[in-house]
A = this chain, B = another copy of it.
């Protein structure tokens, strides 16, 4: 496939090791080269929208750096965050494969570099490389699992406290500093966004944060979060 960037595209991808090492690792060399040839790298500022719910699928984005929130909105103004994609993840995959409209809107949370791969090129690539297709199926499973998690927030929790406690426990520890402070998390979402993740209102999240701080379940300084009483949080989840 021809891109307006020509060789630079490949250079870009070499500068972005995630594409090879994390997303399509273990693929044969020629397959990776083929992938490089059809992907176009670009950077997006905070707030940029990669695609909108209901649009015809144009292709997939592979995130090199940054985070993207995937959400759906209702006519009423309500919205739910389905999941937040991290660096190394792929977005737009289900729509691109099934040719149905994007099921969510993708909005960039922090400056992001991503490789875009057009639908036809991507499908052609998968048809050539059966092992890549299998890899893609695994990724879809990942995405699906994340979505199931979301259903547990929305459907299986009895109260807002339970949802919030579960949300805190589900936060992934920041990479690298893992074992030094195992209960340290980084929380870069606004209350509004947390509310959209766990299915309550912004005000409720606000109240929950202060309540949890008062009960010494968490400590919060800026975006640095400390789970000071994991046990108690787990009990709240199983209540």
Question: Which A residues are within 8 Å of any B CB, using their own CB?
Answer: 72-76, 78-80, 82, 93-95, 97-98, 100, 103-104, 126-127, 129-131, 133-134, 136-138, 140-145, 147-148, 150-152, 154-158, 199, 238-239
* Contact across chains for A151 and B156 when beta carbons are under 8 A apart: no
In the complex, A214→B194 CA distance in Å? Answer: 39
Of B104, B136, B144, B154, which contacts A143 at CB under 8 A?
B144
How many copies of this chain sit in the oligomeric assembly?
2
In the complex, A156→B82 CA distance in Å? Answer: 11
Interfacial chain B residues near A156, Cβ < 8 Å: 72-74, 76, 78-80
In the complex, A141→B95 CA distance in Å? Answer: 7
> 4 smallest A-B Cβ distances: which pairs?
A130-B130, A80-B155, A154-B154, A98-B141
In the complex, A101→B239 CA distance in Å? Answer: 23
Summarize A's interface: helix, strand, loop or mixed: helix
In the complex, A73→B99 CA distance in Å? Answer: 32
* Contact across chains for B78 and A158 when beta carbons are under 8 A apart: yes
Interfacial chain B residues near A78, Cβ < 8 Å: 155-156, 158
Of B75, B98, B127, B150, which contacts A238 at CB under 8 A?
B75
Of B72, B80, B98, B150, which contacts A142 at CB under 8 A?
B98
Interfacial chain B residues near A137, Cβ < 8 Å: 97, 126, 133, 136-137, 140
Of B103, B152, B239, which contacts A72 at CB under 8 A?
B152
25 contacts between A and B (CB under 8 A): A72-B148, A74-B156, A75-B238, A78-B156, A82-B148, A82-B151, A94-B140, A94-B145, A97-B138, A100-B141, A100-B145, A103-B144, A130-B130, A130-B133, A130-B134, A133-B133, A133-B134, A140-B140, A143-B144, A144-B147, A147-B147, A150-B151, A151-B151, A154-B155, A154-B199
